[in-house]
């Protein structure tokens, strides 16, 4: 910037400050380059007599890349209010970037209408950026409409549509777009693979993920694209194949970044292998890689899932004292979770009260959840009182409290909470489970009867229960809290039954669930793994559960 200001001074000395070519060059550098200055760019803009499209575009583009993208709309409105000059394709491309960054769907629609009015909506560059804008804002229908209307679709457009579906959790739709993209003879790039690998990770689509890994190898992306490799580590870990995640990680040993180490540490953590997460963390530090906030989240989570209280407290202390990483609300949440899971509820309460995050409801929700696990009504009441005081009690907390009162047999408190739930019209989040069989991912809901083999699936559930009971399974049901059970069979039971029906003996099953597995489903799955001789891996909202020969890797600690 110092050099630019010297050039600007020389321009004034020589009397060229009104030369539009020179003015636009100076403005463009100041507004767009990495070493530029948006504040100085605004000053330069005001000094231009009758600024034309190029000058306005520089300002719109500049602010579309800043934390204040709203200012792009100011310059666009200033531009069209005067009538001269008129916007061009680049104007709208930059404007849609601002809409994308500001996450403002209303602005996207307004800019879309303007692009139609000025006749630029069919331009490939404009349409692609419009699609990205709607995609980033979660406007799936609008994004799909723009995508379908595009006469020419470049790779960016395909990637935007795939990413839009992935973010919305519509994994089947994302895969359909990818298949259509390949049919249209458009080859994927690193962004395509990262989006699809993320989809595989969330849906547990291991087979498709393996195909994408093969494609990444064939295209050379595994050799030069760290982000793709990180996505592969994450995908394999979340699909329950830590061995394959290790394979990718080890192949990257010469060019691992902190994000790569984080992917492996987080993966080990959610599998409850906290001791291995600690080991790889120590190895990471020895290699000279400096951990960041994400590293410690994965590490603390792993310690929590394995019950490594001493280690968790030790590394939490090292965050700021040795590595200068300031603990945030998520780190304190992990620590409260660590203490709470271990039954150290008083210590967890003391940790909340002594932290600078004591007014954040996340910590109190974590304590309430731990209180339910350990059936501690008194501590649950403390957590509830603080949530009410903060005005942050929501549907989840009410259901947790009702469950706590039910499990401890407090009929009066349970009845009161049920009245509150009914009075406020509180509805629990629907439970969904996904299972991949023969390359296809199937989704099941509670009591789901939409599948073509629904009758056979429900009969298989009955067989599962019968065979499990014959070797010692006892159904775990609260005498009071039967709201979810009354709606029908839990989604993970249906997914497992479907897997047993559609796969050969000895084949392992992998199920993904969006909620925490309940005690009864957890107990049943342990016995099913023994009765049917199957290894069953379930990833719930909390962690991975590896069921084999009647036991679970979590040791009933989740």
> Per-residue pLDDT tens for 265-277?
999 998 989 999 9
Arithmetic mean of pLDDT over the chain: 87
User: What pLDDT does 8 receive?
Assistant: 53
The strand pair at 551-552 and 440-445 is best described as unpaired
User: What pLDDT does 469 receive?
Assistant: 95
The residue with greater pLDDT, 15 or 115, is: 115
Is 540 inside any structural domain? yes
Quick check: 470 pLDDT over 50?
yes
The residue with greater pLDDT, 417 or 146, is: 146
Contact 127, 150 (CB under 8 A): yes
User: What pLDDT does 45 receive?
Assistant: 84
pTM: 0.79
Q: Which residue has the tokens 């259509």?
A: 180
Is 25 inside any structural domain? no
210-231 pLDDT tens trace: 999 999 999 998 887 899 999 9
DSSP code at position 429:
P
User: What pLDDT does 466 receive?
Assistant: 95
Quick check: 496 pLDDT over 90?
yes
201: CB partners within 8 A, 6+ apart: 209, 231, 234, 235, 237, 238, 239
Query: Mean per-residue pLDDT for 416-420?
Result: 81
Question: Considering only CA atoms, which of 266, 235, 271, 230 is closest in space to residue 249?
Answer: 230
User: What pLDDT does 17 receive?
Assistant: 54
253-264 pLDDT tens trace: 667 789 999 999
What is the band of 13 on the pLDDT scale with cuts at 50, 70, 90? Answer: low
User: What pLDDT does 320 receive?
Assistant: 92
Is 28 inside any structural domain? no
Is 486 inside any structural domain? yes
Q: What is the total count of domains within the chain?
A: 1
Query: Mean per-residue pLDDT for 539-543?
Result: 88
Q: Is the dihedral of CA 179, 180, 182, 186 positive or negative?
A: negative
Is 183 inside any structural domain? no
Is 543 inside any structural domain? yes
Question: Considering only CA atoms, which of 131, 165, 168, 172 is closest in space to residue 148?
Answer: 131
Is 444 inside any structural domain? yes
Q: Give the residue numbers spanning the domain of 526.
A: 433-552
User: What pLDDT does 488 receive?
Assistant: 65
Is 514 inside any structural domain? yes
410: CB partners within 8 A, 6+ apart: 377
């Amino acid at each position: 910037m110092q050099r630019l200001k010297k050039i600007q001074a020389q321009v004034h000395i020589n009397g060229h400050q009104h030369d539009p070519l020179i003015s636009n060059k100076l403005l463009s550098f100041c507004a767009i380059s990495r070493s530029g200055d948006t504040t100085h760019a605004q000053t330069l803009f005001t000094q231009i007599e009758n600024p034309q499209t190029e000058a306005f575009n520089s300002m719109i583009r500049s602010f579309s890349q800043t934390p204040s993208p709203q200012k792009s709309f100011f310059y666009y409105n200033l531009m069209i209010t005067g009538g001269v000059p008129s916007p061009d394709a680049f104007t709208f491309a930059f404007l849609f970037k601002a809409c994308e960054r500001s996450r403002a769907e209303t602005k996207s629609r307004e800019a879309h209408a303007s692009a139609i009015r000025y006749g630029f909506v069919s331009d490939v560059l404009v349409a692609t950026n419009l699609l990205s804008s709607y995609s980033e804002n979660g406007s799936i229908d609008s994004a799909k409409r723009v995508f379908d209307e595009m006469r020419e679709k470049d790779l960016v457009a395909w990637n935007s549509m795939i990413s839009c579906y992935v973010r919305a959790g519509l994994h089947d739709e994302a895969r359909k777009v990818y298949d259509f993209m390949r049919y249209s003879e458009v080859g994927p790039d690193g962004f395509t693979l990262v989006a699809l690998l993320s989809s595989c990770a969330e849906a547990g689509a291991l087979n498709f993920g393996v195909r994408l890994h093969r494609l990444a190898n064939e295209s050379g992306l595994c050799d030069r694209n760290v982000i793709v490799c990180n996505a592969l580590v994450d995908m394999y870990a979340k699909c329950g194949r830590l061995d394959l995640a290790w394979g990718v990680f080890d192949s990257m040993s010469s060019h691992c970044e902190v994000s790569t180490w984080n992917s492996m540490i987080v993966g080990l953590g959610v599998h409850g292998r906290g001791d291995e997460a600690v080991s790889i963390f120590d190895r990471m530090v020895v290699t000279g890689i400096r951990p960041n906030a994400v590293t410690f989240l994965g590490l603390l989570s792993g310690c929590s899932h394995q019950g490594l209280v001493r280690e968790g407290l030790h590394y939490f202390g090292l965050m700021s004292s040795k590595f200068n990483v300031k603990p945030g609300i998520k780190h304190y949440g992990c620590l409260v979770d660590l203490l709470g899971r271990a039954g150290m509820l008083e210590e967890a309460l003391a940790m909340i009260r002594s932290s600078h995050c004591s007014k954040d409801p996340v910590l109190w929700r974590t304590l309430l959840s731990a209180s339910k696990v350990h059936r501690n009504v008194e501590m649950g009441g403390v957590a509830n009182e603080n949530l009410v005081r903060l005005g942050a009690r929501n549907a989840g907390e009410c259901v947790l409290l009702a469950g706590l009162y039910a499990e401890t047999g407090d009929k009066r408190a349970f009845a009161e909470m049920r009245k509150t739930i009914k009075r406020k019209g509180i509805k629990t989040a629907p439970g969904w489970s996904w299972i991949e069989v023969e390359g296809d991912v199937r989704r099941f809901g509670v009591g789901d009867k939409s599948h073509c083999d629904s009758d056979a699936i429900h009969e298989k559930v009955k067989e599962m229960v019968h065979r499990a009971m014959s070797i010692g399974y006892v159904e775990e049901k609260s005498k009071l809290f039967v709201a979810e059970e009354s709606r029908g069979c839990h989604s993970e039971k249906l997914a497992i039954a479907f897997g047993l029906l559609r796969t050969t003996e000895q084949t392992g099953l992998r199920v993904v669930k969006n909620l925490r597995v309940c005690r009864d489903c957890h107990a049943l799955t342990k016995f099913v793994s023994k009765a049917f001789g199957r290894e069953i891996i379930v990833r719930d909202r909390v962690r991975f559960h590896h069921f084999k020969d009647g036991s679970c890797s979590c040791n009933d600690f989740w």
